Amino acid sequence: MSASPQPIQNHLLAALASQELKRLTPHLEWVVLELGEVLYEPGDTLRHVYFPTDSIVSLLHVTESGASAEIAVVGNEGLVGIAVFMGGESTSSRAVVQSAGNAFRLPGQKLKEEFDRHGDLLLLMLRYTQALITQMSQTALCNRHHSIDQQLCRWLLLSLDRLQGNQLNMTQELIANMLGVRREGVTEAAGKLQRQSVIEYSRGHIKVLNRPQLELLSCECYSVVKTETDRLLHYTRRQDN
């Protein structure tokens, strides 16, 4: 945990104008997110939104049988809980901590109050929502048309973009649950990457050794999501006047 957590560790908060961030800061709570922690279940009324700093949260859809598949990942580029300001108050997805770390938690009502001012925060949140929708739709396409090998590469790259460094702590079983595939498929795909010296995998610890090669092995879905996110979200750290 950072000794002196700052809201600007989250890129959305860092991109806010000084006065907007100043109004939100007293209500931001620094929280620890544990691996596997469920932030909300389908149908829950969302009371808070989360701005991750060094954690990753997976948004999953769950079937009646209990099977699940990831539809999007959220890290320090965004926030968890868009239903709060989109007017729905609840969502059909589950939010689970994929990579342990920290986040700033904000009461949903405070975010809505700032949203209703129709200032920079409104535009920023809408653009982030569009980027998130792009990720969701591309994930659906990827899961239907691309191999497990390509899906794993895409998933690793999206996760790395939301963390510092080149390492992840994630078991193959958890990855399989995220991708909605059998564990044996992930084991085979990870083995191929390891034999090609793209990753090093041991006991739930993944180290990416060759990111350029990982990008080449991924399908186009990763670049589509990254390009659209970069286009929509021009994160600029604001300076106080």
Q: What is the pLDDT of residue 240?
A: 42
Q: What backbone torsions phi and psi does residue 144 show, to the nearest 5 degrees?
A: -85, -35
What's the pLDDT tens digit per position in 73-89? 999 999 999 999 888 78
pLDDT tens by residue, 197-210: 999 988 778 899 99
pLDDT at 232: 86
Q: Which CATH code of 1.10.10.10, 3.40.50.2300, 1.20.58.100, 2.60.40.420 fits the domain covering 147-218?
A: 1.10.10.10
pTM over 0.75: yes
Q: What are the residue ranges spanned by the domains of the chain? A: 7-142, 147-218
Q: Taking phi first (over 0 means left), then psi (-120 to 50 degrees means alpha), and beta for anything else, what does residue 86 get?
A: alpha
Average pLDDT, the chain: 88
Render pLDDT for 116-162 as a digit per residue (tens, 0 to 9).
988 889 999 999 999 999 999 999 888 889 999 998 999 899 989 88
Q: Which fold has domain 7-142?
A: Jelly Rolls (2.60.120)
